[in-house]
Chain A
Amino acid sequence: MKPAAFDYVRAESIEEALDVLRQEGADAHILAGGQSLVPMLNMRLAKPRIVIDIMHLPGLKRIETGGGMIRVGAAVRQRELERQADLGTQQPLLAAALPWIGHAQTRNRGTVCGSVAHADPSAELPLVLVALGGEIELRSRRRSRRVAAATFFAGMMSTDRKDDELVEAVRFPMARSGAGYAFREIGRRHGDFAIVACAAVVDAQRAQLAVGGVADRPVARQLPLPGDPALEDALDAFAWDLDARDDLHATATYRRQLVRQLGRQTLEEAARCRA
């Protein structure tokens, strides 16, 4: 349970970090809060030749709001976002989901962008980003680009990020008036990986449910509004389409049932919060 050997680079500018990424490609891993990467290093599931520490770059430490977005830089820790005043009104879904990420002791170091870049299928932040239709800002020496969350997450711990790209920031759309938001999660214990997590956005016309922990990535779907008799069948179809698998933590049958029940509850709660 010790990492294999690697070089450690303490980047002093974004350009330096990007240069190393360009030279080393997939042999280099970005180290931010380390709460996903270091377990992978300890278990030797990841064996990079070079680790690039980006936590000393002041340009990445900002939380900015504007243009209807909350922009969170790559060196912002989960706790810092959690403690942001007004987060509950700026984006209630984000405020509701943050306490579910790991434990207080890991949120003290883990970063928002790190969790998104890691792309665990049961992670809360990718789910919220997909539910809200957020974006990921990627930057390399070649270009900067923005990718919609729905296309960024490509599978189990796999994303659209190229080897020379850094997740520079993520952008969460701020709350819309007339929309309600809700987050629910079932795990064996608080802080464990979610067996199923649901994030819902409901307004007068539309209901959107995003589900994590079932498919190989978070998946969002438009569903009938709570109260519509068509919702039950639509949730059932959604549950089957997520292609749940049995694993150590839960059977596929249980996961499908959670999508139906927890999904409906989350949608109903979002509808209630709309007022």
Chain B
Amino acid sequence: MPRLNAGSLHRVSFTLNGRMVSGQAHARMLLSDFIRHVLGATGTHVGCEHGVCGACTVQIDGVPARSCLALAVQAEGADIRTVEGLAPAPDRLSPLQNAFRENYGLQCGFCTPGILMSLDALLRDRLDATEPEIRDFLSGHLCRCTGYESIVKAALDAAQKLRQERDRA
């Protein structure tokens, strides 16, 4: 039975955006802090740190979840995806990211990485998601700039473009 004592650092390894990564963490370190401060992937933002705002949302084993409500040591061996994993190349945006750009889906951008990770998972699951479904899914995210309208528009636009892409394939 592995027991990681409070005072020592422990090695944590998992897949981050398809690459095996590892680093040292205390047992109490949150996954959000581990991703940002130990691994240096600062695309994931930290807001409320009690699971309400959704800014720190990442995908854990394929489903969106709050990285501030998981310990780094719990992620051992997991498959983690963050906003850095969305773009297919450094100079190209994903269809979802592009839809946000074209529809003014962000202003200050603080909530955006979390929202993108939720919507990316939703559209992977349900490309035919309706506006009420999208709004329900977004209820787990706070945005204080946009009033959500442009975010919903961007999500619907992305879904439509992804459906066209699918139908062409």
Contact = CB atoms under 8 A, between A and B. Distances in A.
**A and B, one complex?**
yes
A191 B140 contact: yes
A256 to B, nearest CB: 27
Given A10-B1, A34-B69, A55-B74, A5 B26 contact: yes
Nearest to A5: B6
Contacts, number: 110
Nearest to A8: B27
B45 interface: no
Contacts of B48: 1
B7 interface: yes
A6 interface: yes
Contacts of B4: 7-10
A106 B27 contact: no
A8 B69 CA distance: 15
Contacts of A39: 50-51, 69
Interface residues of B, number: 34
B27 to A, nearest CB: 4
A4 B140 CA distance: 26
Number of contact residues on A: which range applies? 35 or more
Interface string A3-20: 111111111110010000
A105 interface: yes
Given A1-B49, A2-B28, A105-B54, A9 B3 contact: yes
Interface of B: 1-7, 26-28, 30, 33, 48-51, 54, 57, 60, 63-66, 68-71, 73-74, 118, 136-137, 139-140
6 contacts: A2-B33, A38-B30, A102-B51, A105-B54, A105-B140, A109-B70
Interface of A: 1-13, 16, 31, 34-35, 38-39, 41-43, 49, 51, 53, 55, 79, 102-106, 108-109, 189-191
